[in-house]
Amino acid sequence: MLPLLLTAAAALRAGVGIYDITGPAQDVNLMGMANPAQKAEGILQRLRARAFVFADGASRPVAFASLDAGMGGFVLKQRVLAALAASLPGVFDDASLTISGTHSHSGPSGFLQYTIFQFAGSGWVAETIDAFVSGTAEAIVRAYRSLAPARLTLASAEVADAAINRSPTAYLLNPAEERRRYAGDLDQTMVQLHVLAPDGTPRGLANWFAVHGTSLNNTNRLLSGDNKGHAAYLLEARQNGPTSDASRAGAGPFVAAFASTALGDVSPNTAGAVCRGGARQGEPCDTVHSTCPDDDGRPRAQLCTAAGPGADMYDSSRLIAQRQADVSAAMLDGAARAGGVEGAVRGVLSYVPLGEGVEVHAANGSVIGTTCAAAMGEAFAAGTTDGPGMFDFNQAGNSSNPLFKFLASFLRHASPKLAACQAPKPVLLPTGEINFPWPWAPSSVPVQLLQLGQHFIAALPTELTTMAGRRLRAALAARLAARGLWQSDSLVWISGLANGYADYTTTYEEYQQQRYEGGSTIFGPHQLQAYIEALLSLADHLAAGTTPPLGTPPKDFSHDVESSLLGDLLTPPRLKAEEPPRGRAFGDVLLDAPPQVAAGGEVRVAFVGGNLRNDPRVQDSFVRVEAWRQGGWRLVAEDADPTTRLLAQREEKHVVLTAVWQPPVQTAAGQYRITLHGAWMKNTACNICPEKLTPVQYNGTSRTFALTPPQRAA
């Protein structure tokens, strides 16, 4: 066996790639909180697709892409595959490509075709899906074209103080014997895969750690990869150097992906949930229902919210990012000494019809139940302590809410069969039974298993809770061992929100309490077991070297959505011809920088601008912070850097764009300026012709200001 392992290890090749997927930064609802008021109004950090390609020289290469996005999507993946078929014909297929979202709740919506997600965002937004598809495909192409002999190593470590379980009472419903196997209701392990050159030089890494992308709450209006996007930035800056003309953030060559895993009940808001008003302000919330009494004693979910460890949500995101980045960096420093990855690289995938009643089984093979047509429970409408819902619903509540009756009568009641199958869930929306004007929820979902040598990745289109993830990994490891694929150092981990999106997955026991995660487990109480059995079947095919049946993929009806009247009603406003204020031009400064700023302070410059959707400036930047060095202006920060923010305020015929820079205390003193680059829309049609919009580029520049050392406290 030893010569075979050495041959396999020597044959491994890997490539890394990264590309811009920022998309529309204005007018589009952010994806994740389902808050219609949460429309993008600028950029905190640009969004990226980070891709890794692995090849063993014998099988089809495997690609993994992690996106600074809410989740993967079925249409997104199919369009990426089509783009790859055009540029890399015959290289990748559905089974050999994984696209996973980091689960940032601060990326643009508009890339999920099911009707419920149309209403949760801004309908179908071509600008979003196009940016995601083109950027992801380009990142994968770059990774493939950088394939080279590589050493792959795997390590794991604990990340402290970066997360809490936001549904601890549901976790306690799991069997005591099962809970005793684990250290508490939180999985704090980060698994990290390193891509090294043969000489040990780091080329990239991907890690998986369970924490939600909700450090930024539903009041945020700026595009951001949240804590995981920020952590990726920190590792890439550490390896590639700080932003400069020669080393721009997001340009590589070192690529670091902080990917999602079983994060369903895991919050980054480590200060916990407390009452933000009402009769018990400042006290802990009700732990079962996540409510607080208002001044009249009525329980309100809106009064119960959680906060992170920082001074505000942006500081909290930074701190949670830093805690992940510090652990990742320590593992990277020991990457050459970590366990080697040796063996085959393969992927298998099937589409499983969970919405059509898949039978699930006990250990003795007897049928214990079936999955159900999809449905959302009342707790779904309650939201979570990371972002409560807008209406008077409670987690673990019942159907006493009058809005429930209104919504049910407006859409449709759950059939008796669906209600019985989903019990004890009080069904709010029977999404699996609503097909007007298009399906409201998936029925068939992708289940994928990747093999990287002696290690395995279960890629699922869902958010598993902590115990659901533990139970799935344990079952899969046992089957892999029984089939002879497990080695003493093998690991199996979960890549969540991958290849599609089908909401949450709890354990059967957690489902009974019907907190948010249970109310959002759409295929009923046996959903987790159905996922487990589908993965066990894929493990059997991996062991036998056979191709599993593909099953029936969902129908792609996105083009119907895009061209529909409903699509027109939900999508962002059409771009219009713009004009500057009287006596002004685009790029003019409305509020200039002060003559002098201390490091650690803040600089704001406001410009006459155009809509940020006019030109997304892919792989570029709207804002540049420049320093006068060596006889010229040199780049020191831009949109991709968390020290900058770009704020968009719509006026009647133009946009006021405010560039904000918060120079870190260690920033070198000197002369600086801030520049803005964008496009405004001009009507270039003749007087009697229909409007024809043409983007016109413009630039603006602040005064030169002096940056001084940080001010000392008195």
What is the C-alpha to C-alpha distance for residues 691 and 332, in angstroms, rounded to an integer?
A: 55
CB atoms within 10 A of CB 306: 24
Q: What is the DSSP letter of 621?
A: -
Q: Which listed residue (100, 167, 260, 267) is catalytic?
A: 267
509 belongs to an annotated ligand binding site: no
**CA angle, 437 then 439 then 444, to 5°:** 165
Residue 508 annotated as lining a ligand binding site: no
Beta strands across the sheet bearing 655-661? 26-29, 39-43, 644-650, 655-661, 603-609, 589-591
267 is catalytic: yes
3-class state of residue 225 by DSSP: coil
Distance of CA 124 to CAs 71, 119, 223, 534, Å?
Answer: 15, 10, 18, 31
Nearest to 533 by CA among 373, 347, 363: 363
CA–CA gap between residue 308 and residue 315 (Å, rounded):
8
What are 467's two structure tokens? 């115990």
**458 DSSP 8-state letter:** E
Burial class (CB in 10 A: 0-12, 13-18, 19+), 523: buried
Cα distances (angstroms) measured from residue 88 to each of 81, 83, 179, 292 = 10, 8, 47, 55
Nearest to 44 by CA among 290, 216, 270: 216
Residue 7 DSSP one-character state? H
Token digits of residue 377: 């429970």
Dihedral of alpha carbons 467, 470, 473, 476, sign: negative
Q: What are phi and psi of 234, to 5 degrees?
A: -60, -45
Q: How far apart are CA 37 and CA 286, in angstroms?
A: 27
Handedness of CA 577, 583, 588, 591 (dihedral sign): negative
Task: Show the 3-state SS of 39-94.
Answer: EEEEECCCCEEEEEEEECCCCCCEEEEEECCCCCCHHHHHHHHHHHHHHCCCCCCH
Q: What are the tokens at 665?
A: 């205390």
> Has 654 been labeled as part of a binding site?
no
Burial code (b: 16+ CB inside 10 Å, e: under 16) for 418-439 equals bbebbeebbbbbbbbbbeeebb
User: By three-state DSSP, how is residue 164 classified?
Assistant: strand
Whole-angstrom distance, CA of residue 291 vs CA of residue 303: 7
Cα angle 513, 516, 522 (rounded to 5 degrees) comes to 90
What is the torsional sign of CA 494, 496, 500, 503? positive
Any known ligand binding at 463?
Answer: yes
Token couple for 682: 């001009």
Helix (H, G, I), strand (E, B) or coil at 15: strand
Is the Cβ–Cβ distance between 63 and 71 less than 8 Å? no
Residue 640 region, left (φ>0) first, then alpha (ψ -120 to 50), else beta? alpha
- Do 278 and 300 touch, CB atoms closer than 8 A? yes
Residues in contact with 247: Cβ distance below 8 Å, sequence separation at least 6, in sequence order: 240, 241
Query: Which residues participate in the annotated binding site?
Result: 103, 212, 463, 504
Query: Which residues participate in the annotated binding site for Zn(2+)?
Result: 103, 212, 463, 504
Q: Which residues are catalytic?
A: 267
